[in-house]
Structure 1
Amino acid sequence: MDLLKSIQVFEQVAQQQSFSRAAESLNLVPSAVSRQINELEKWLDIRLINRTTRSLSLTEDGKAYLLKLSDIRAQVTELRRSKTQLQQIKGLIKITAPIMIGQYMLPVALAEFKELHQDVDLAISLMNRKVELVEEGFDLAIRVGHLNDSTMVARNIGNMHFKTVASPHYINTHGMPSTPKDLKNHQCLINTAVTNAKRWSYLIDGKSTVIKVAGSLEVNDSQSLKAFAIANQGIAQLPSFYVDAAIQSGELIEILSDYVPSPLPVNLLYPSQRLLSPTVRALVDYLVPFLNQQKQKW
């Protein structure tokens, strides 16, 4: 039994003083109106309407219950309206991402989202450590790398490709490494913002191989690392989107291109779907296709 539907039918019958006119008003057949009234009376265990072949009238109980039931329906309607308001896209979303993603990808994506949803506030924390979303109060996280088993939902938004680069002056001075194993004879710029900073991956004979590297300069920021490479301080392994412009301008050259390291997956993480607020869900639904469209730039 649809209680709210039955109440609506009862209200119309009381107003129209006719089953057939109520049916016409509600776009129902008269038999459906009669059935709704019968089910409501059975549910309440009282007679609401006195029926004759020529007329109908509310019983005394019917008059009393009409007011009560109408009030119930009005309250439910208000609750539904309030629910709709609560589901509007507004409020605060807390996001965490690695610094390199935050610097390169998020500003454009989130700026466009903010233009579409100006009642949404964004709090973005850029950090390279692993963040516990629920414990630290974040709604979304972007992670680079292979994920461990998790209770979080992961949506792939691309794969991060890497290039090994150095300045032309550095190569002219120190020589061109022929294979990744030659890196042991070079100054490598160590990015301490990433896990296993002194272990670089390459594809050698079709297999992912880890090469240990070392150098006298360590920094925890990819942009700074690129700047040191341009300043002839050594060889760096960085995401393609960080170095492509410098390669095109001639400030850097790509080396070991026959041993391109395996790309790392990039995922958007958030708590299970049932816990998402409409606002967070709207951002997820926006970010996944937007960032997927950027794959060719990664």
Structure 2
Amino acid sequence: MVCMDKIERLKVFCLVAENKSFSQVAKLLNLPRSTITYAIQTLEKEYEVLLFYRTTRSVSLTHVGQDFYEEAQYLIKNLKDLNRFKTMSKKSGGKISIGMPQRIATQILLPCLNEYYKNYPDIQISLNSQDHYSHLMNEQLDCVVRVGNVQDEYLISRNIGNVKIKTYASPNYIDHYGLPRDVSDLETHIAVEYRVGKIQSDLATLHFKKNNVKVPYLVVVENSEAYLQAGLAGLGIIQIPEYDAYLYLQNNHLVDIFQNIEPQEVPIQMLFLDRKYRPQYFQDFIVWLKDILKQKLLILENL
């Protein structure tokens, strides 16, 4: 194993960050790949931070890694001390980047943040609230909240619980099309089509616990807010999480049209890339967020 001092390891780190590849840097420096890997692992251990997200196919800087890269470049030129990163895990303030579905962000997280900031005033939260699945590595996110099953071997998941996805229509829709009594009646009805990352189809699909039903549609939308508003406007039947329909049911803006049919249940999960080097303020945020989600989302306890 080639012996490197700290400055040499930092130079290797910068090269990996710029080339996004351990193998290319090994070829560039005419060194074994294991030497490059060891240099990066030594820096991570010394400063107690995770610098890169790694998979078999890609390498990218973490959120902290990007800051470390800028500082390392400066240090290489000016020999500035980087020891401040070593105490990062113990600081009370910092940055958290999180991705979650739009409706969870606007209806649950944002209204609760003022309460959170009473105890954690020095945290900066960057919120990615898109309906498509946020990519942790590409978007440099610390955590993602997802509704539905996740199959990704590189992600660490923390299950929060299950939510019911129920079937609703507005009173206007029911006045026009009637109230379906069973899924067999749906052939004379229409749904709102919700298309995010789906292949285009001439029919929408309504999902139930025991079967799926194809239904015609007139309107296609690409985000959850438009989907809900289309349902409220009477443009078709919609299926949304039970927690998101609660107020609209109370105000008689939506009707639960299949109360005797078992709905589909889907998990809500928090996803991470790595357990190592999480600052305490981030650990505290995750505990707080999990409690808020369980309280607000009418979570079913691991049925």
Range class of TM-score, shorter chain: 0.5 to 0.7
Distance 1:297 1:130, change over 3 A: closer
Asked if 2 retains the 8 angstrom alpha-carbon contact of 1:92 and 1:120, the reply is yes
The match for 1:18 is none
Distance in 1 (CA, whole Å) between partners of 2:263 and 2:154 is 29
Distance in 1 (CA, whole Å) between partners of 2:223 and 2:190 is 18
Asked if 1 retains the 8 angstrom alpha-carbon contact of 2:161 and 2:299, the reply is no
Asked if 2 retains the 8 angstrom alpha-carbon contact of 1:128 and 1:194, the reply is no
Deviation at 1:190, TM superposition (A): 1.5
Q: 1:160 aligns with which of 160, 163, 169?
A: 163
The match for 1:139 is 142
Distance 1:104 1:82, change over 3 A: closer
Deviation at 1:237, TM superposition (A): 1.3
Q: Residue type matched to 2:213 in 1? A: I
Distance in 2 (CA, whole Å) between partners of 1:213 and 1:276 is 46
Distance in 2 (CA, whole Å) between partners of 1:138 and 1:81 is 22
Where in structure 2 are the equivalents of 1:93-132 lying within 5 Å? 93-132=96-135
Distance in 1 (CA, whole Å) between partners of 2:131 and 2:84 is 42
Q: Which has the higher helix share?
A: 1
The match for 2:236 is 234
The match for 1:250 is 252
Deviation at 1:142, TM superposition (A): 0.3
Deviation at 1:194, TM superposition (A): 7.2
Q: Residue type matched to 2:207 in 1? A: S
Distance in 2 (CA, whole Å) between partners of 1:115 and 1:84 is 24
The match for 1:148 is 151
Asked if 2 retains the 8 angstrom alpha-carbon contact of 1:144 and 1:266, the reply is yes
Deviation at 1:140, TM superposition (A): 0.8
- Figure out how many residues of one structure are paired with residues of the other and give that number: 216
Distance in 2 (CA, whole Å) between partners of 1:127 and 1:100 is 9
Is residue 263 of structure 1 aligned with residue 265 of structure 2?
yes
Deviation at 1:215, TM superposition (A): 0.6
265-274 or 215-224, larger mean C-alpha shift: 215-224
Please report the RMSD computed on the Cα atoms of aligned residues, expressed in angstroms.
2.8
Is residue 201 of structure 1 aligned with residue 207 of structure 2?
yes
Distance in 1 (CA, whole Å) between partners of 2:134 and 2:225 is 22
Is residue 185 of structure 1 aligned with residue 188 of structure 2?
yes
Asked if 2 retains the 8 angstrom alpha-carbon contact of 1:161 and 1:240, the reply is yes
The match for 1:25 is none
Identity %: 25
Distance 1:227 1:129, change over 3 A: closer
Distance in 1 (CA, whole Å) between partners of 2:233 and 2:293 is 32
The match for 1:284 is 286
Distance in 2 (CA, whole Å) between partners of 1:242 and 1:161 is 10
Distance 1:86 1:273, change over 3 A: closer
Is residue 91 of structure 1 aligned with residue 94 of structure 2?
yes
Map Cα deviations across residues 162-191 of structure 1 (whole Å, 9 max, x no partner): 221112232232122122232232121122
Deviation at 1:111, TM superposition (A): 3.1
> Secondary structure in 1 aligned to 2:191?
coil
Map Cα deviations across residues 229-285 of structure 1 (whole Å, 9 max, x no partner): 332222111222222222222222110222232211101111222142333222112
Q: Residue type matched to 1:264 in 2? A: V
Asked if 2 retains the 8 angstrom alpha-carbon contact of 1:159 and 1:295, the reply is no
177-186 or 210-219, larger mean C-alpha shift: 177-186
Q: 2:222 aligns with which of 216, 220, 223?
A: 220
Higher CA-based Rg: 1
Deviation at 1:195, TM superposition (A): 5.3
Distance in 2 (CA, whole Å) between partners of 1:156 and 1:86 is 24
The match for 1:172 is 175
